[in-house]
Amino acid sequence: MMLSVRYPRPLPCTLSASQIWLDVVPAGSRLDLTAHGPGAGAAIFSWSLAAVGDQLYSTLRRPMILVERDDTDHGIDLLRHDYWWPREKCLDALVEEARTNAIPAPFRRDWPYAANIFARTRISENGDLTDDPVATKEGARIELRAKFDVVVAVMAAGTVSPAIDILVDPTPSPDPL
């Protein structure tokens, strides 16, 4: 498959809670995620297409994805946890989605943990993970840019439906990656 042909123009997708989007995002592409209002959120997984098993940073400490915009005031939560869905349930759905779409994926035991978007998690004094009631506003947007060819999986969450819009824009960044 030629990645440059995969996204010849911007490709939109809308997810409701518990729906999944998983695809290859070519180097230089912008990935826009837009919330549909309070309670919208998503977990994002990513690994290098060329080196399956890499996470948001590669094993060589190469940044894989650059955050170019975050309207939600601390809307990307790099705390890795299983708070929204049990990790096993997430993995079942994600592994099946990758297999169905013939996208190279890590072995089940090697899947990266999610970074959460449009949400923030706090650790309470007793060590419990709790949602921070940051209200996501309608139209809040996070823009990410792939530093090289990566696979990205987004699992929508929240109390509104639809919850998240996704747009992959293959237009290269005007600045060098």
Per-residue pLDDT of the chain (177 residues; tens, 9 = 90+): 233 345 555 678 899 988 889 988 888 888 899 988 877 888 888 877 655 433 455 556 667 777 777 776 655 655 555 555 667 888 888 889 999 989 988 888 888 777 777 776 667 788 776 666 556 788 888 888 888 888 898 988 877 788 889 999 887 666 544
**pLDDT of the residue at 87:** 72
Q: Give pLDDT, residue 166.
A: 93
- Counting DSSP H helices and E strands in the chain, the numbers are 2, 12
**Residues 85, 42: Cα–Cα separation, whole Å:** 11
Q: Where are the domains of the chain?
A: 11-32+43-169
Q: What pTM, to 2 d.p., does this model score?
A: 0.71
How far apart, in whole angstroms, are the C-alpha atoms of residue 65 and residue 82? 21
Contact between 29 and 146 under an 8 Å Cβ cutoff? The reply is yes
Q: Quote the CA–CA distance of 7 and 28 in Å, as a whole number.
A: 12
Specify the pLDDT at position 165. 93
Q: Is 117:77 a contact under the CB 8 Å cutoff?
A: yes
Q: Tokens at residue 11, please?
A: 């490709």
